[in-house]
Amino acid sequence: MTKVLYEIDSALKSQLKNVPSLSGIYMMMDKKGEVIYIGKALNLKDRVRSYFNIASWKDRPKLCFMMPKVKEIKTVVTRSEKEALILEASLVNKHQPKYNVTLKDDKKFPWLMITHDESYPRVVPIRDVAGFKHKYPNTKNKFFGPYSDSGAMWETYKVLKEGFQLRLRRKPLFKDRPCMNYHLRLCSGPCQSLIIYDDYQKIVKQVEDFLLGKYDVVLEDLKKQMKEASKNLQYEKAAKFRDTIGKIKKVLEKQIVVSDEVSLSQDIFACDWSGQNMLLELLMVREGKVVAVESLPVDLPKDTELEIAFNEAIKQYYTRINDENIPKEIIVQFKLAEINYIEEWLTSRSKKKVTVICPKKGKKLELIKMAEHNAKLALQRVLLSNINNVGAIRELPLQELQKELGLKNIPNRIECFDISHLGGTGTVGSMVCFINGKPDKNEYRKFKLKTVLNKIDDFQSMKEIISRRYRMHSVIASEAKQSQDRSKSNEIASSPLQAPRNDVVLPDLIIIDGGKGQLSAAKEALESLNIDLNKIDLISLAKRLEEVFKPGEKKSILLDRKSKTLFLLQRIRDEAHRFAITFQRDTRTKDTFQSELEKISGLTKAKIQRLMNYFGSLKNIQEADLETFAKVLRQNKDVVGNILEKIKNL
């Protein structure tokens, strides 16, 4: 290790003498007064002094960069280590120090706010919750979020607006009549006293329950109100309740059921990482259903251990959310270091017993794997959205890749394969192609699996797509050999054989996403096609340790984490992931549309296929005029008019 030249200045020495031997938190500032690191300790004096022991820096490389920048240290004494944990998480979330693991600033993520500061509360999208609370410290407003996917937030907002009809305007547009929102059934008209105060507050409570995922409670309440209104001959009011119930049920149809236990309330956390990028994935389960999936980016300081980062990110997450949003059970991918303190902290906030579990087997482990899979896909989207990554790929010398992996050929043409599915359903495969280090999207291929249906079997799936990809090459090669043999036997001077078509040219390198199992499946498929593996290279890339496996070799190849070779392999693998998940999502959406259409009387599968081929999407069908619709179905307008109306109401 290079010798570090570092001398503590006199002002800092004076501060070190005054650090107490008590529990609490410490903040390290640079010359500008900005907080660059926050930590906690049972004994502040011992912990802070340990940072200035230069001999220990070899075990913590981060300190070589951080400590020379420290010009001031502040401490806050707490009554217990639990209190220190809470304060540390809160301050890290507030200051976002450079050398701490930090959940990215959630100001960019939208929230939904219920404005309890007003007599008739509204639901309002908001981004800077911390700023709002700072400006209005005594606010009674409630906040729900954050939504890392703004599209999901706006979809929820639309359901609330159309289903519950809380007022939309902060001030009435007219003094003597309701505005257009009332006539469009988007508002219940409290500004003109068209709804009594108590009834309006019931709706507000239902909206809160809806945002907390208590759907069964909301539905039960609405059904009672509908029956009561119908009993009192208030049929228009009953119809409003019926419509709201219908909208909520549509939301529930899209949710994944993980348990029949309606009281089940869980937050499930898993993560994925690459370099200094980490993605914390949250599956939010309420009443036994996954009601939200959130992807939370985390900044990793250099040389940070993954499990420590995971621990810190979860603590910061719970400093951001309302007490009402804390579940009874938190399921985590890695065991948390301060699990007892975290349980006590969250229990005291939520007024109910909160348990943190790191499962080793069973259904809860399956949920962790689901969250881990989602984290993996979300991180790939984040990485691939950075255009600089693509530039780095193109600059890589392919000779370096050949040398580090011991390949037979310079990999001028690389084909990479990946599998994607949702819990074993809708399994698809993808192949991406890189020529001279650049992606060639004209050569990309998609595969809908035929041999693997409604089950998880990555090995068989990989075997199938490899077989389908290179089957034609095997056929053409076999025909060429037979033709050559016939020419020789007839002693006819044959013209040079034509090379196989471009879409079946063998690559120099085939990359399989996965470990030894996926690699063996691919090798078996290629051998069954009589493809000579002495002429091409085949490898697999396993995610956890980024290990490279080669056929017939027991030991894996561990590349330098900073090497351009590993960077290239990761980017190609991530592009295959992106292509696979996009295709899987599009396929799932199309299948959902078709299943909805199949429920309509009078629409056969053949007719649905005809409509989808012509219009391309459900939205286009819904916007079609009756004459075109009838023409595509080749039926009379009077016959299909009712069918089109039902489609428009989906």
Nearest alpha carbon to residue 523 among 550, 484, 490, 554: 550
Domain CATH for 630: 1.10.150
Q: Tell me: do 402 and 543 sit in the same domain.
A: yes
Tell me if 330 sits within 8 A of 103, measured CB to CB: no
In this structure, the answer to whether residues 281 and 351 fall within a common structural domain is yes
* 3 band by pLDDT with thresholds 50, 70 and 90: very low
Domain that holds residue 642: 599-648
Are 38 and 74 found together in one domain?
yes
Q: For the residues 30-44, what does the mean pLDDT come to? A: 87
pLDDT, residue 475, reads 58
| 252-266, 316-330, 354-368 — most confident range | 354-368
Residue 407 and residue 542 in one domain: yes
Q: What is the pLDDT of residue 392?
A: 40
Same domain, 360 and 416: no
Whether residues 204 and 282 share a domain: the answer is no
Give the CATH number of the domain where residue 279 resides: 3.30.420.10
Kindly state whether residues 62 and 149 are assigned to the same domain.
no
* Residue (of 50, 46, 41) closest to 83 by Cα position: 41
Report yes or no on 249 lying in a domain.
no
- Which amino acid is residue 27, in one-letter code? M
Query: Which of 266-275, 372-381, 615-624 has maximum average pLDDT?
Result: 266-275
pLDDT in tens, 455-494: 777 888 888 888 888 887 765 555 555 555 555 555 434 4
Strand partners, 113: 124, 143
CATH of the domain at 429: 3.30.420.340
Q: Does the residue 457 lie in any domain?
A: yes
Structural domain ending residue among the three candidates 82, 100, 118: 100
Q: Is residue 218 part of a domain?
A: no
Q: Tell me phi and psi for residue 24, to 5 degrees.
A: 165, -160
Q: pLDDT tier at 23 (50, 70, 90 boundaries)?
A: confident
Looking at per-residue confidence, does 261 or 28 come out higher?
Answer: 28
**Domain boundary at 36, 65, 100, which?**
100
Helices 387-394 and 564-598 sit at what angle, rounded to 10 degrees? 130
Task: Label residue 5 by pLDDT band (50, 70, 90).
Answer: very low
Q: Is residue 223 part of a domain?
A: no
Token output for 425: 């359903």
Lowest mean pLDDT among 262-266, 539-543, 574-578: 262-266
Exposed (0-12), middle (13-18) or buried (19+): which is 176, by Cβ within 10 Å?
exposed
Least confident range from 249-258, 357-366, 406-415: namely 249-258
Decide if pLDDT at 496 tops 50. Answer: no
Distance CA 199, CA 221 (A): 12
Q: For residue 221, is it within any domain?
A: no
Provide the CB-side half-sphere exposure for 260 (13 A, CA).
Answer: 0
Q: Does some domain include residue 450?
A: yes
- Does residue 559 share a domain with residue 458? yes
Rounded-to-integer distance, Cα 566 and Cα 572, Å? 10
Would you place residue 105 in the very low, low, confident or very high pLDDT band (cuts 50, 70, 90)?
A: low
Which of 100-114, 207-221, 304-318: highest mean pLDDT? 304-318
pLDDT tens digits, 106-151: 555 678 899 999 889 999 988 877 778 878 888 888 888 777 666 7
Same domain flag for 93 and 111: no
Same domain, 420 and 538: yes
Q: How confident is the model at residue 227 (pLDDT cuts 50, 70, 90)?
A: confident
Residue 432, burial from CB neighbour count under 10 angstroms (0-12, 13-18, 19+): buried
In a domain, 592, yes or no: no
Residue where a domain stops, chosen among 344, 378, 412: 378
**44 near 22, Cβ under 8 Å?**
yes
- Which secondary-structure segment (H or E) carries 65? helix 62-66
Q: What is the mean pLDDT of residues 265-290?
A: 82
Most confident of 49-58, 84-93, 316-325, 436-445: 436-445
Residues 434-455, mean pLDDT to the nearest whole number? 83
Whether the per-residue pLDDT at 216 is higher than 60: the answer is yes
**511/570 same-domain check:** yes
Q: What is the mean pLDDT of residues 616-645?
A: 80
The residue that leads in pLDDT, 608 or 140, is 140
Q: Are 471 and 345 found together in one domain?
A: no
Confidence at residue 417, expressed as pLDDT on a 0 to 100 scale:
93
Residue 498 included in any domain: no
More confidently predicted of 497 and 170: 170
Domain count, the chain: 5
